[in-house]
Amino acid sequence: MPVKILMPALSPTMTEGTLAKWLVKEGDTVESGDVLAEIETDKATMEVEAVDEGKIGKILVSEGTEGVAVNAVIALLLEEDEDESALEGADTSGPDVGGDAEESAPKEEKSESKDVALGTSNTPTSSKDGERIKASPLARRIASQEGLELSGVDGSGPRGRIVKRDIEAALSNKSAAKSESKADAPAAAKADAPASKAPAASGWNPDLTGLPEYEEIPNTTMRKVIARRLTESKQQVPHFYLTIDCEIDNLLSVRKQLNEKAGEGVKISVNDMIIRASSIALKRVPAANAVWTDAAILQCKQQDISVAVAIDGGLITPVIRNAGGKGLAEISTEMKALAAKARDGKLQPQEFQGGTFSVSNLGMFGIKDFAAIINPPQGCILAVGAGEQRPVVKDGALAIATVMSCTLSVDHRVVDGAVGAEFMAEFKKLIEDPLSMLL
């Protein structure tokens, strides 16, 4: 019987997506690893690949279709010994997943029909000896995030396919063998949370009486998720705000000198220096580099800085991993590459998921100051305004300096006022004495 190709869950918050474009047509022969389609998730447009070989028998969901549920059947794949006659009466219902966003074996198999979800293009599909590893996209994603080799995992799904419960069992065994520390429990609970349990966006139907003529612009998947997550953040996270003014004349001078001496293709921006200063300040005040869970506060040992990037229809936060261990040139090069991929919709999940602290800079638009909304589960986000000349008092005399206002939005559950103030003091020192961040 034909193999059912399912709509994959390509991010932890994805419950539905838009099938933006098919890259194959009916009758095309595909192999494991071939890119089949582009799918718009709640974060970006991503290429997805086949995990089985065969011939595309029938496309059930046309390109451009919005709101396609995760695990819905989007196409049928004919196996090597099948022809078009096998499509007659083929089952096109999705798998019985219970409360999980993962495919599972049907309670009663009435035929030999198989289900196969698409895989993200950056996931390996074969073992070292060349044998193809059958695993669901969710299982591959969790394994990739946890650094788990699929070749060492036994599959319990249909035809030996590795599914989420197999990864969970392998991780549980690995964790038990390594340690039984209590700190592992909240992290595991977070990793185990299925995407299908993400809360739906609340209804918002204001009274439109009296509105002038308007154009209706349908909400994209990304816009809906932004609306839901930011609403949840403001409703559930107890925000407070700390604002500080930083003189940046020295920073601008050092930046100019660095760019004059930098190699070809390297141009350090003020934002690159803000990222660097934030990461060093987090090293000095590790209590601010933390995440809240009901069981424990998770104090992160690496400074992964999420940087807000505006894109068509919304925004996304690519992550500079281990920013505290990188120099300005490396941060600058990496940030430019990530921003370009973000605007082209080509970011991979590992490039925007996670992050321990966020930076949002609207200074290039002339915004003097603003307060950003925290990006859960992170504990803080730094909002950066424009550098502008202002009167300041130095040694009892009035002077002019270039001043930049920065506001830290803080989750009071995880970071107290004194800790937030200590972080901002360290950040200010680094910005006003930029040579210290080069050490």
Please name which of 383, 381, 390 lies closest in space to residue 365, comparing C-alpha atoms.
383
Show the 3-state SS of 96-148: CCCCCCCCCCCCCCCCCCEEEECEECCCCCECCCCCECCECHHHHHHHHHHCC
CB 36 within 8 A of CB 22: yes
**98/7 Cα distance (integer angstroms):** 16
- What residues contact residue 250 under an 8 Å CB cut-off, 6+ apart? 432, 433, 434
Residue 431 to residues 244, 245, 267: CA-CA distances in angstroms? 11, 10, 18
Residue 123 to residues 33, 100, 130, 263: CA-CA distances in angstroms? 9, 21, 15, 34
**381/410 Cα distance (integer angstroms):** 7
Residue 101 to residues 60, 403, 437: CA-CA distances in angstroms? 20, 50, 45
Per the rule left: phi > 0, alpha: psi between -120 and 50, beta: everything else, 363 is alpha
Percentages (nearest 5) of helix, strand, coil residues in the chain: 30, 25, 40
330, amino acid identity: E
Residue 239 a catalytic site member: no
Q: What is the dihedral of CA 155, 158, 160, 164, to 10 degrees?
A: -20
CB 11 within 8 A of CB 192: no
**357/379 Cα distance (integer angstroms):** 7
Q: Is 302 exposed, middle or buried (0-12, 13-18, 19+ CB in 10 A)?
A: middle
Strands 239-247 and 114-117, by their bridges, are: unpaired
Chain-centre distance for alpha carbon 366: 28
Strands 29-30 and 16-22, by their bridges, are: unpaired
What is the C-alpha R_g of the chain? 25
Query: Catalytic one among 114, 190, 412, 428?
Result: 412
CB 383 within 8 A of CB 370: yes
| Residues with catalytic roles | 412
